[in-house]
Structure 1
């Protein structure tokens, strides 16, 4: 199990890509490595690399490659995010996709082709790096696809699949020097991409390609990007866990529904995976001070990581984030100024100490290598006639009936681990159940009520 940090540059935040400093980057990476992290996730800004639809700046690509090398010099692997996209309440969309030049980023053929060219070029720029963990298509790009974004690029679910498949294929072309990797099957074959490159054990055999979404994909039935987009594309299923989505309001910062939220999302991810053993990656999780008191942040961190470590097929945890945002920068949501494991001037905070200790304990624990939980709770994703059921995701949201049932079982479990999740549409698949180690199946009690809460506005999200 891997433990890493989302790198927030201590000098200039992500605007530092405009005036790249290798020495500032090295100082940050040395600090991150000092707490036992084994990888970082980095975020080159899309408009900086591709300021015009047909211009991809080589100097910007070189800067990204340099960051990967610097991280490697401190023993850190690197995951490179492509489409930023969205970061800490700010959108970074290139001018050729906005205002007078606005076109749908997911469906316009010229835009999709140009975006794919950028993703391919970025992947190619770092493909030969021995410490490359992988390429993520973007950071919570699904927030552009639906309200409450102020200007969404409307799409259907099928158009979302086509876009995700095109971006995954572009990343893989870049990583493989322009050649295809593997033979396409299933959903990815229908959309022109290639299948997951994982060994029989689920461990990645090459740099990962992933698609990252914020949790509306799991909790909002109206969001066109959903669980299948996370589970059907790329080499691992990515989740982002933020308890300001209603979890902390309902359960309290240190309540079970908050400190187990990351674990719960990982079990939801595993349910939608078509391949047993597909890796699941908690790629973002943090202790947001708008709902977690700074005095509770260390305990929140320790408990979150301890619960996640008991979940099966977890690739790793990547904490948000490395450094606080400088108070010299304006207009961030207040929580963004205090999310780091380090202060802006490089002092390790109590939450950073807790992360280091919890990661070390999880690496040494046998729980993370134990057999998966044998009990599974059934999620009703289909109606009696087998047709898709609208409302499934709302049931899974904080306060929903399914979320409440899962948490009740998790808290009652003798080994302290929450149950697996089994889709109703797959309940008769004995081969799948056996492969996942499921021997006991539990339904949501018919008399269980839940209070569904509104998913948080993306503008408050890192």
Structure 2
């Protein structure tokens, strides 16, 4: 079980890439290491690295590599996101994709080719770093694909599949291998939760489970979970666990790691006084998921109040304040990392709940994802089962529920096919 943080620079936020200062990064990483964290996730700004479609700045790549090396000096592994993309309500998209030069991010052949070239060069620059945890294609780029983004880049599911395949292949090519082996850097795909909750979102659960080396989830209870269940209700403190189990339903390999890559305690729905308990219960529940790779908390440092126009919650998401003071949520995170890191890996829950992804004739159901969203019929049934069982059950797609060998491989011995009716599938 890995414990890390999404690195938000304490000085000048991600704008600090404009005047990269190694000593400031070292100060932040020393603080992060003091929490007992073992990794950081870092976010170069795409427009600064590739300001022209044919130009990937060598000095920007060198800055990124130096940040990874600074992390190593404090015993931290580093995961690097390639395409930023979207951060804390702001979009960072190169000018060659906007206004007079607007082309579709996901489907224009020239754009896709140039983007893949950047991903390949970034991966190549990082290849061989002993503390490189991996490369994530981008931060929640699926939010560009559909509403509510104000200017989406329309893409069909099959085109999204093609785009992801191209980007993952470019990353692996740059890293020098076709797939991640033991100890090798992992390539991952990060999506915001519309992939699991919105039937109109073209990037879906299968994209998360079929591409890259882990299934990645981002859990934010401002999506309605906290409003429905309360800041410390089971539907809030189990949301990360639920989303990991929901995403894992699409994993064809039962050994595929599940990474809770983003989770935080947003103060617009979690009062600061409740935040440490929210941290503890969220992490303990996530650690109980089978094949849990780790938890990476959002984020390391608060956004400084000197910066304007951020949503209010962004100013108070850090484990440290912007001036480096450890907050109660940071202290609780450190306690949990120290306690849980050496714990045995969680065994898979023996009970699973069936998700109706197809009808009786095997045809895909149009509203299956909507039922999974907070307050939806499936999410409420999962929570009821978790309360009954004492831990969240696994999730099995109906399209795969009649395969005894697949169920055995996942350690599943009982199926819940209605909210409170448990049926034995094998003894």
On whether the aligned pair clears a TM of 0.5, the verdict is: yes
Partner of 2:214: 236
1:263–1:311 Cα contact (<8 Å) kept:
yes
Would you say 1:197 and 2:169 are equivalent positions?
Answer: no
Equivalent runs, 1:27-106 vs 2, <5 Å: 27-106=27-106
Equivalent runs, 1:371-450 vs 2, <5 Å: 371-413=347-389, 416-445=390-419
- 1:411, distance to aligned residue in structure 2 (A): 1.1
Q: What secondary structure does 1:272 align onto?
A: coil
Partner of 1:108: 108
Per-residue CA deviation, residues 48-93 of structure 1 (Å, 9 max, x unaligned), is 0000000000000000000000000000000000000000000000
Equivalent runs, 1:12-411 vs 2, <5 Å: 12-176=12-176, 181=178, 197=180, 204-366=182-344, 369-411=345-387
Distance 1:378 1:167 in 2: 32
Distance 1:330 1:321 in 2: 18
- 1:429, distance to aligned residue in structure 2 (A): 1.6
Would you say 1:7 and 2:18 are equivalent positions?
Answer: no
- 1:361, distance to aligned residue in structure 2 (A): 2.1
Per-residue CA deviation, residues 88-144 of structure 1 (Å, 9 max, x unaligned), is 000000000000000000000000000000101111111110000000000000000
- 1:371, distance to aligned residue in structure 2 (A): 2.2
Gaps of at least 5 residues in structure 2 are 422-427
- 1:355, distance to aligned residue in structure 2 (A): 0.7
- 1:236, distance to aligned residue in structure 2 (A): 0.3
2:291–2:346 Cα contact (<8 Å) kept:
no
Q: Judge which range, 333-342 or 437-446, deviates more.
A: 437-446
Distance 1:150 1:47 in 2: 19
- 1:241, distance to aligned residue in structure 2 (A): 0.1
Per-residue CA deviation, residues 187-218 of structure 1 (Å, 9 max, x unaligned), is xxxxxxxxx535xxxxx441000010000000
Per-residue CA deviation, residues 230-258 of structure 1 (Å, 9 max, x unaligned), is 00100000000000000000000000000
Count of residues in correspondence between the two structures: 421
2:42–2:80 Cα contact (<8 Å) kept:
yes
- 1:364, distance to aligned residue in structure 2 (A): 3.8
Per-residue CA deviation, residues 238-289 of structure 1 (Å, 9 max, x unaligned), is 0000000000000000000000000000101111111111001000000000
Per-residue CA deviation, residues 351-377 of structure 1 (Å, 9 max, x unaligned), is 0001111222222434xx242100000
Distance 2:308 2:206 in 1: 37
- 1:28, distance to aligned residue in structure 2 (A): 0.3
Q: Judge which range, 165-174 or 357-366, deviates more.
A: 357-366
Q: What secondary structure does 2:130 align onto?
A: coil
- 1:426, distance to aligned residue in structure 2 (A): 0.3
- 1:432, distance to aligned residue in structure 2 (A): 1.1
Distance 2:114 2:418 in 1: 46
1:305–1:362 Cα contact (<8 Å) kept:
no
2:357–2:364 Cα contact (<8 Å) kept:
yes
- 1:384, distance to aligned residue in structure 2 (A): 1.1
Q: What secondary structure does 2:246 align onto?
A: helix
Gaps of at least 5 residues in structure 1 are 182-195, 199-203, 448-462
1:68–1:132 Cα contact (<8 Å) kept:
yes
1:49–1:56 Cα contact (<8 Å) kept:
yes
2:384–2:419 Cα contact (<8 Å) kept:
no
1:374–1:438 Cα contact (<8 Å) kept:
yes
TM-score (norm 2): 0.97
- Across the aligned residues of Structure 1 and Structure 2, the Cα RMSD in angstroms comes to 1.2
1:410–1:418 Cα contact (<8 Å) kept:
yes
- 1:446, distance to aligned residue in structure 2 (A): 9.7
Distance 1:359 1:261 in 2: 19
2:385–2:420 Cα contact (<8 Å) kept:
no
- 1:431, distance to aligned residue in structure 2 (A): 1.6
Q: What secondary structure does 2:341 align onto?
A: helix
